[in-house]
Amino acid sequence: MKILDIKSLVKIYRSPFLMKKSIGIDGLDLEIEEGEIYGLLGPNGAGKTTTLKIITGLLQPTSGEIKLFGNLGPLEARNKLGFLPENPSFYPNLTGEELLRFYAKLYNKNLSKKEAKEKLAMVGLENNINKRIGAYSKGMIQRIGFAQSIIGDPDFIVLDEPLSGLDPLGRREIKDLIVEVNGKGKTVLFSSHILSDVEAICSRVGIIIDGKMKQIGTIRDILGRETKYIEIEFEEVKEPEKFKKYGEIKIEASTNFLRIESEKTRNKVVKEIINKGGKIISVIPVKRTLEEHFINTINE
Amino acid sequence: MNKILTIAENTFKEAIRDKILISITVVGFLLMASSKIFVPISIGQAPKIIKDFGISIVEIFGVFIVIFIGTRIFHQEIERKTIFSIISKPVSALEFVAGKFLGLYYLIVVVQILLFLIFLIFSKFYLRTIDIYLFNVLYFLLFEFLLLDAVAIFLSCFMTPLTSGITALLLFFIAHLTFYLKDLTELLKVPGLSALMNFPYYVLPNFSVFNVKSTVIYHLPLSIHSYLLAFSYSLLYSFVLIIFSSFLYSKKEFV
């Protein structure tokens, strides 16, 4: 079942006085299936946040079609939707517990104090339950932001840069939580600049550039099955420089590193090393990273 | 209705913990305490002057709080980006606007009652008596501020905080005087002019229906009609303004 179906979405911003146009989204198509973790990638100003804001009802599209949960009306759809905005901000005079109980009530859910504490503990804020939000650090705001996005037990969770402002441990925890809620059948759409994180948890990604969807697919589809190069580590071979004909070689005291471009020559090289009395330490196929692909796509 | 009350409660909690509100209330307290200085120069009019001064302080601070907080209420949500986490939830524009309106009203009721009680304590301390009839002023003030709350919310839907604050303040003073405009038109009897001068009287909120200060201070009788008029006029006008405000708000975008 499609959770989200966007067709030919256009968003044009107009400046207040001169009515000067600027295009935010330019004919974007996006489909998200139930149960996916979908990563939305793109450089700054590509239209990621605009897309997420249109999905969550903060902006109105200029034209195009957007269907959430089939044909549900905006309020019914938002009842099944959770959202974490980019650089979130919350009521500074409320405590963490009060904030979560407030948001839960907007989904017509009465959260007990115990439940609120559990939710805060889930994002690592169990020691800051009665602390006012105004005294929270950026990382803590991001964590409580994630907690509020899932407070209504939504089926579809939209996260705009959920990992920004977090330290490596915090990033790891939020990533684990995203995978955990996904394991409970929730669909997740998130934008991120941290490509290694996207690569680690997303089932599919879409790359937006200048308001247009440039590429969609699974990480494997996008990066391809081909390896970028193969690195062979070997030792105990006399005259290792003779392997230069196969590729770039780095000779160290006792170990040699040979980088070959083609998979076809791999077996031949390995066989030759063994025949010359050498010892294979490792054969590592190095694949293209999402980051490299992303940068290439932008440059294109 | 639950969501309206939830947003109202949240608005109240946020505002009541704000240091600005505490400062305003403390200043009000100090000003009321200073009414003692009028006693030696009042030449036998001390009760009237102290009551008049005290009620004016209660009213002025009420106006200030409603306009200062009411006209900033939405802008603050947008500036702080707290609006993003509300609008993306299953909350309609009407629920949001009505919740904000009601939350601000809770606040003004609490502050007005608090300031009024402070006034009564000073009144007892300086005049050795408490005038129960003064509670009538509180009744009318609370309905006056209900309407002013709706006006501030309405203006903030399409104006900046500064312009909506100035407009709301001007409107508050002008709307206290539209009664005289109507009287003047009846006196002048110039064709065409009456329609022009009656326009503000019928369209602008008529705050003079809540002005019973002199009547109460001089212990003149208040008709049941004036109580009912203040109640129904305030409720009806505020209801219409909140409906308009929610319509305007539903057209807003949050970039």
Q: What is the pLDDT of residues A242-262, one digit of tens each?
A: 888 888 888 887 788 999 887
Provide, rounded to the nearest whole percent, the portion of chain A with pLDDT above 70.
99
Q: With beta carbons under 8 A apart, name residues in chain B contacting A60.
A: 253
pTM: 0.83
Tell me how long chain A is.
Answer: 300
Q: Where are the alpha helices (DSSP H) in B17-92?
A: 19-33, 46-70, 73-79, 84-87
Domain assignment present for A179: no
Judge whether residue A159 has pLDDT over 90.
yes
Two structure tokens written together for B131: 């005038």
pLDDT band (50, 70, 90) for residue A186: very high
Say which of B7, B14, B84 has its CB closest to residue A85.
Answer: B84
Residue A277: which CATH number?
3.10.20
- Distance, in Å, from the CA atom of B223 to the CA atom of B231, rounded to the nearest integer, reads 13
Task: Domain count for chain A, please give it.
Answer: 3
What is the predicted ipTM? 0.81
Question: Computed over its alpha carbons, how large is the radius of gyration of chain A?
Answer: 25
Of A204, A223, A242, the residue that ends a domain is A223
Say which of B2, B13, B82 has its CB closest to residue A90.
Answer: B82
- Distance, in Å, from the CA atom of B122 to the CA atom of B8, rounded to the nearest integer, reads 32
B199-213 confidence digits (pLDDT tens): 777 788 888 888 888
Substitution target in A106, A107, A136, A157 with the highest count of B β-carbons within 10 Å is: A106
Tell me whether residues A83 and B84 touch, CB distance under 8 A: yes
A197-233 confidence digits (pLDDT tens): 888 888 898 989 888 898 888 877 777 766 788 899 9
Judge whether residue A19 has pLDDT over 80.
no
Provide the shortest C-alpha distance from residue B88 to chain A (in Å).
5
Domain assignment present for A236: yes
Domain ranges, ordered by start, for chain B = 2-250
pLDDT band (50, 70, 90) for residue B141: very high
Say which of A58, A93, A152 has its CB closest to residue B84.
Answer: A58
Domain assignment present for A173: no
Give the domain extent around A254.
227-299
Q: Are A204 and A210 in contact (CB under 8 A)?
A: no
Q: What is the DSSP string of A154-208?
A: -SEEEEESTTTT--HHHHHHHHHHHHHHHHTT-EEEEE-S-HHHHHHH-SEEEEE
Domain assignment present for A175: no
Tell me whether residues A85 and B18 touch, CB distance under 8 A: no
Show Cβ contacts of residue B209 under 8 Å, excluding neighbours closer than 6 positions.
B226, B229, B230, B233
Provide the shortest C-alpha distance from residue B204 to chain A (in Å).
28
Same domain, A260 and A190: no
Two structure tokens written together for B196: 């022009």
> pLDDT value at position A49?
92
